Chain A
């Protein structure tokens, strides 16, 4: 078995010219990736006024419902908004194409391949994936080419012999401790360890995070085709009525609560 009491002496220039540059390059490339993805994202398409109006009507109903059990709005206002929305949903005045005429065929849900809006979403997802993968491969090639054939650093923790072939790629010795590793393994350590740094500098939603690469796929984010707002409005109307049953103003009985807090009751 290898004698792990013997320590290798490494030239300090390896530290200056390999260790720090690899880390620095990876940090900078990560930041570059983030900004490139940001610049590559096409701005969202502007929707026509009717389409926005129907989405907003939906959003208003949902916001109203979300806090209905502890509502900050007094009963008069809550009920007037709720009834107005219910009536317009029923009559279909907010629909993009106007109130439904009798005998209209129901709209077909669009195929993601043919609908241009969904296609844009998929394309931007795939563009992001490509931008994320290319720098990683380039850096790995760069490291393999320039920084090969020497031992870079000693890991402070032990690993099994199975890792030897991966971590000591350019150094063909058999007895050296697995803890002495080559530059590629320093690349891997950086790859996993810098995500926290990116989260700190670039904010939580950054595109430099390598943990996102493994989980996201370009096809997962395809949005649903143009929804049938008529059906949605009907469902929302039922939800509104249900929430009206649950409604309770948060200021109900507030006079008694204030007085009892000051021990006047």
Chain B
């Protein structure tokens, strides 16, 4: 059972707003994965450099959200705080790989 302080703190959170924030974050992470995949494919990055680009894009987008949207305090806006902001999102790694393979194939494999 949660402590009374936690229960009280939780009751101050408004669920529809939390859902909206989470939905927006999911969309941003998915689009970031897509564009990173396209960039990696077009640039012709292979092996580890492609995955490095994915990592860099995840970090960069979470940094942008952290400074511009959360104004330096992610725990105030996002349910899981730092970790909720940093993780690349559910299954966005497979999305990245799909789009990366697609653009790499279009640009570099086919004439």
Contact = CB atoms under 8 A, between A and B. Distances in A.
Contacts of A246: 4
B45 A197 contact: no
Interface of A: 7-10, 12, 14-15, 19, 23, 66-67, 69-70, 153-158, 186, 189-190, 192-197, 199-200, 204, 211, 246
Contacts of A157: 46-47, 50-51, 97
Q: Is the interface of A mostly helix, strand, loop or mixed?
A: helix
A204 B26 CA distance: 10
Contacts of B105: 15, 19, 153-154
15 contacts: A9-B111, A12-B111, A19-B105, A67-B11, A70-B8, A156-B46, A156-B100, A158-B47, A192-B94, A193-B91, A194-B95, A196-B33, A196-B34, A196-B90, A204-B26
B27 interface: yes
B11 A193 contact: no
A59 to B, nearest CB: 16
B91 A192 contact: yes
Given A195-B94, A196-B30, A199-B26, 5 more contacts: A69-B4, A193-B91, A194-B95, A196-B33, A196-B34
Q: Is the interface of B mostly helix, strand, loop or mixed?
A: helix
Interface of B: 4, 7-8, 11-12, 23, 26-27, 30, 33-34, 40-41, 45-47, 50-51, 89-92, 94-95, 97-102, 104-106, 108-111
A154 B104 CA distance: 8
A189 B95 contact: no
Contacts of B108: 154
A189 B97 contact: yes
Contacts of B40: 156
A5 to B, nearest CB: 13
A200 B27 contact: yes
A9 B92 CA distance: 30
Given A19-B105, A196-B95, A12 B110 contact: yes
Given A10-B110, A12-B110, A193-B94, A155 B101 contact: yes
B71 to A, nearest CB: 22
B45 A156 contact: yes
A211 B91 CA distance: 9
Contacts of A70: 8, 11-12
Nearest to A192: B94
Contacts of B111: 9-10, 12
A15 B11 contact: no
A15 B107 CA distance: 11
B95 A193 contact: yes
